[in-house]
Amino acid sequence: MRLPFVEHVGAEIADVRDGASLLTLVIAPLHLNSSGVVHGGVLFTLADTGMGAALFSALARGERCATVEAKINYFRPVRGGTLQCRSRIVNRGRTLASLEAVLSVDDNAVATAHATFAIIAADGAAPGG
């Protein structure tokens, strides 16, 4: 699946399987805000994409997903290096799934995110319905 915005940001989906994913991003000047640290939207983009990829890996044929709500907590500023985002499904129901993501640099957590995703049948009907 092609993800133009994720490609534009420069993130790479390194691994996706069994309800989990790993995304990486080498920090470049374009990722920085006016204070010289990585813009919070960059971290949020990785978290949302990572959680979506984790869920996508567990969907049945004919299902798709969409973010319903998401929350992120930032712990410390990121000035450089390689960001890693590890995401996983926490709980999956028939129409909703809860996921979490941990973002880190050099194995030090810099943010966590939690989200709820809708699970939608490709034809727009409720899954399994």
User: Which pLDDT does position 13 carry in this prediction?
Assistant: 95
Residue 100's SS3 state is: strand
Cβ neighbours of 25 (radius 10 Å):
24
Least confident of 25-39, 82-96, 110-124: 110-124
pLDDT tens for each residue of 10-69: 999 999 999 999 999 999 999 999 999 999 999 999 999 999 999 999 999 999 999 999
Confidence of residue 101 (pLDDT cuts 50, 70, 90): very high
Q: Which residue has the higher pLDDT, 1 or 89?
A: 89
The fold for domain 4-121 equals: Thiol Ester Dehydrase; Chain A (3.10.129)
Residue located via tokens 């899954």? 127
